[in-house]
Amino acid sequence: MTEAPTVLPAAAGIAPVDGEMALGRSLFQDAWRRLRRNKAAVASAVVLVVLALAGLIGPMVAPHSYDRIYPQYVRVPASFEAYPKEDAIVPAFESALARARITIGATEVNGNTVSAPISDDEPLDPRITRYLDRSDLFSNVRIDQLSADGRSGVMLADVSRLQFIFGTDNNGRDLLARILIGIRISLAIGVLASAMALVLGVTYGAIAGYYGGKIDSVMMRIVDIFYSLPFIFFVILLVVFFGRSFILIFIAIGATEWLDMSRIVRGQTLTLKRQEFVQAAEAMGATTSGILKRHIIPNTLGPVVVYATLLIPKAILLESLLSFLGLGVQEPLTSLGLLISEGAENIRGATWLLIFPAVTLTMILFALNFLGDGLRDALDPKDR
């Protein structure tokens, strides 16, 4: 019982001696310095920036478009080796050419070209190259060394080597490209929904908390009513009225997430408005909006920033849930949640379809949570 209330030295009055104070260092600058010293948070921030850039620029520079279908490469496993594999070229070449009903000699693979002597009883129809061109494996198909009678020659084709380092999905679309677009969609929804929750929740909570009394009661009961609406029901309602669209998803998520935010901000405001600096502003004759803008809201920002970083992963997960249920983004667009749901269906035959999107989502969530923790520690050193 005789334990001391642990007091930080700064709070106990051992503030650094005057004199050595540098020019104006705000609380946020202090927090920033503390944050930079937190390795997990810095690493998370780097991971987030890299992933965000990947989501932004990745789809533009990726070798495949996220909606391009390669029928020959349905569900190919993840591999650094280029497709087609060496031993698959000749059979693919021969089976494609077999449809032309001509005699094919020994097929040879020479670097990036494949060639085979061909002959027929009739003069060769140059249109037979189309059989090969149709395949994703070959391009620039041509007939060379055509004999004078046109009955024999050498069929030449360039092998197009395609890389699917994350493999392809059930429709033969490159998983890497789809994950990149998925990152873009998921992060966008996370950020936009959180931003919406932030603006709505902070304003609403600050107003309710500052006015207090009956206004507060009414405003908070409205929040309670919203709380009691099941989220999925609410989303289905929205989808029924407005149809499925990208904007709707983040509005739906934002519209449910702001409730928590408004409660947090209201609680903060209730303690803040009894602080003397708020009373001082009132004694100064400041207007209500001025007090909210200059005093209340800036001082709630610490916990709000922390909560917002934890809100983003929540929004991403909610979006995943919606997509999983088929209420989210529409094909061919995709999101990480949708990719994971597809992967889960194919877990037996094509594990990579689950592993790669799941790892990406986990990385984003981990990074956001670590960053959120780091921010909390940095902004509120006394809570440690």
Partner 1 sequence: MADIDNSILSVRKLDVKFHTDDGQVHAVKGIDLDVRAGETVAIVGESGSGKSQTMMAIMGLLASNGRVSGTARYRDTELIGLPERRLNTIRGAKITMIFQEPMTSLDPLYKIGRQMAEPLMYHKGMSARAARPRVMELLKLVGIPDPERRINSYPHELSGGQRQRVMIAMALANDPDILIADEPTTALDVTIQAQILALLAELQQKLGMAIVFITHDLTIVRRFADRIYVMRRGEVVEDGVTEELFVDPQHDYTKMLLAAEPTGTKAPPPPSAPVLLQGTDVRVSFKIGGGFLSGPPMLLQAVDRISVALKKGQTIGIVGESGSGKSTLGRALLRLLPSEGRIRFENLDLSKADREEMRPLRKELQLVFQDPFGSLSPRMTVGQVITEGLLVHEPSLSTKERDRRAIEALKEVGLDAASRNRYPHEFSGGQRQRVAIARAMILKPKVVVLDEPTSALDRSVQKQIVELLRKLQADHDLSYLFISHDLTVVRAMADYIIVMKQGKIVEEGQTADIFDNPRHSYTQTLMAAAVDTTKFRLAG
Question: Which member of 299, 309, 320, 335 binds partner 1 (CB under 8 A)?
Answer: 299
Between residues 132 and 206, which has the closer beta carbon with respect to partner 1? 206
Q: Measured in whole angstroms, how far is the alpha carbon of residue 356 from the centre of its chain?
A: 13
Question: Which member of 284, 331, 348, 383 binds partner 1 (CB under 8 A)?
Answer: 284
Between residues 183 and 202, which has the closer beta carbon with respect to partner 1? 202
Helix, coil or strand: residue 348: coil
Question: Which member of 7, 46, 237, 359 binds partner 1 (CB under 8 A)?
Answer: 7
Between residues 3 and 122, which has the closer beta carbon with respect to partner 1? 3
Between residues 205 and 254, which has the closer beta carbon with respect to partner 1? 205
CB of 378 to partner 1, least distance (A): 10
CB of 1 to partner 1, least distance (A): 5
Upper half-sphere CA count for residue 281 (Cβ side, 13 Å): 17
CB of 267 to partner 1, least distance (A): 18
Q: Side chain identity at 213, as an amino acid letter?
A: G
Between residues 220 and 232, which has the closer beta carbon with respect to partner 1? 220
Question: Which member of 2, 110, 228, 289 binds partner 1 (CB under 8 A)?
Answer: 2
CB of 381 to partner 1, least distance (A): 8
Positions of E strands within 10-151: 82-83, 103-104, 108-110, 113-119, 138-144
**Two structure tokens written together for 278:** 């708020």
Angstrom distance (rounded) from CA 77 to CA 143: 33
Give per-residue burial for 188-199: e unless 16+ CB within 10 Å, then b.
bbbbbbbbbbbe
Question: Which member of 279, 325, 345, 380 binds partner 1 (CB under 8 A)?
Answer: 279
Angle between helices 297-324 and 175-211 (to 10 degrees): 140
Q: Using CB under 8 A, count the residues that bind partner 1.
A: 44
276 touches partner 1 (CB under 8 A): yes
Question: Which member of 286, 321, 355, 358 binds partner 1 (CB under 8 A)?
Answer: 286
Question: Which member of 62, 195, 232, 301 binds partner 1 (CB under 8 A)?
Answer: 301
Give the interface segment with partner 1, choosing from 6-14, 114-122, 174-182, 258-266 (CB under 8 A): 6-14
Helix, coil or strand: residue 152: strand
Cβ–Cβ < 8 Å for 37, 142: no
243 touches partner 1 (CB under 8 A): no
Q: How far is CA 13 from CA 6, 17, 326, 368, in A?
A: 13, 10, 58, 35
Between residues 16 and 243, which has the closer beta carbon with respect to partner 1? 16
Question: Which 11-70 residues touch partner 1, going by CB under 8 A?
Answer: 12-18, 21, 23-27, 30, 33-34
Between residues 26 and 228, which has the closer beta carbon with respect to partner 1? 26
Angstrom distance (rounded) from CA 41 to CA 358: 21
Q: Which residues contact 305 (CB under 8 A, 6 or more apart)?
A: 375, 379
Picking from 278, 265, 269, the residue whose alpha carbon sits closest to that of residue 305 is: 265
Between residues 3 and 331, which has the closer beta carbon with respect to partner 1? 3
294 touches partner 1 (CB under 8 A): yes
Between residues 149 and 276, which has the closer beta carbon with respect to partner 1? 276
Angstrom distance (rounded) from CA 177 to CA 150: 44
Q: ω into residue 298 within 30 of 0, thus cis?
A: no
Angstrom distance (rounded) from CA 243 to CA 284: 51
Between residues 240 and 283, which has the closer beta carbon with respect to partner 1? 283
List residues near partner 1 by CB under 8 A: 1-10, 12-18, 21, 23-27, 30, 33-34, 275-277, 279-287, 290, 294-295, 298-299, 301
